[in-house]
Structure 1
Amino acid sequence: MFSKTDPAPPPAATPARAPNPNAGKSVLASDLRISGDITSTGSVEVFGEIDGNLTARNLLIGTEGSVKGTLSAETIEVKGTLDGRVSTQSFTLRGSAKVEADVNYTSLVIESGAQIEGRFTRPKT
């Protein structure tokens, strides 16, 4: 007469995508020219020219590298040319760096010889 039926189980929720701790390193060679946005959960090394926004866990702009756009990464090291906006925890400018940017950072290192122009902002703790 009366029977107990279990309702259908709720659909499984799609898990949020967490950063991949095993993400690799992407190297953009000196003969490479990219116009567009780049996103990586790992490290990116730029030796070519990028015109666009770049998001990664770690970013290195090599001495012959050039980036024009908005950068967002936990750590950014610049040896080459950068023109744009930066949001990072650790920002390092090597002696060969040429930077024109508005930078939001937590930690900053500037080597002698680096050429910089822009606004540097550190959040108050």
Structure 2
Amino acid sequence: MQNRPAEPAPQRTGSNASKSTLGPDLKIVGDITSAGSIEVMGEIEGTITSRDLTIGPEGRASGTFSAENIEVRGRLDGRVSCSSLVVRSAARVTSDVTYRALVIENGASVEGRFKLTKG
């Protein structure tokens, strides 16, 4: 029997960062930070900072959110800072939003202040 050296673990790069899903049975109160993507299927109250953030159809998020790209299919309340915000048709957003690109689908419920940033 020969001893073989262990193979190195695969390394993640910025373009292949991980995705974390907060399941529908979770309710989290607190702060979450990720270098990758976060998908909220349950309920979060707090602060989320990530590269990408998705609020799923049954997801509810309230607090402060900062990400490059945010897509809302469920409910989002609070303060938002992002490069790109997409609000899907079934979404409900009540927020103060700072953005560079914005898409609001027909049927979405949107309330708050929206500020376009340049750069």
Fold conserved between structures, TM > 0.5: yes
1:59 aligns with 2:53: yes
Match of residue 100 from structure 1: 94
What 5-or-longer segments of structure 2 have no aligned partner? 1-12
With normalisation by structure 1, the TM-score equals 0.82
The one-letter amino acid of 2:82's match is: T
The one-letter amino acid of 1:59's match is: L
**2:100 and 2:118 in contact (8 A); partners too:** no
In percent, how many aligned pairs have the same letter? 58
What 5-or-longer segments of structure 1 have no aligned partner? 1-19
1:79 aligns with 2:73: yes
With normalisation by structure 2, the TM-score equals 0.86
Pick from 71, 95, 119 the counterpart of residue 113 of structure 2.
Answer: 119
Pick from 85, 95, 101 the counterpart of residue 91 of structure 1.
Answer: 85
Structure 1 Cα separation of the partners of residues 118 and 99 of structure 2: 11
The one-letter amino acid of 1:43's match is: S
C-alpha root-mean-square deviation of aligned residues, in Å?
1.0
- Count of paired positions: 106
Which structure's CA Rg is the greater one? 1
The one-letter amino acid of 1:75's match is: N
Match of residue 23 from structure 1: 17
SS at 1:109's partner residue? strand
In the TM superposition, residue 68 of structure 1 has moved relative to its aligned partner by 0.4
After superposing on structure 2, the runs of 4+ consecutive aligned residues of structure 1 that deviate more than 2 Å are none
SS at 2:71's partner residue? strand
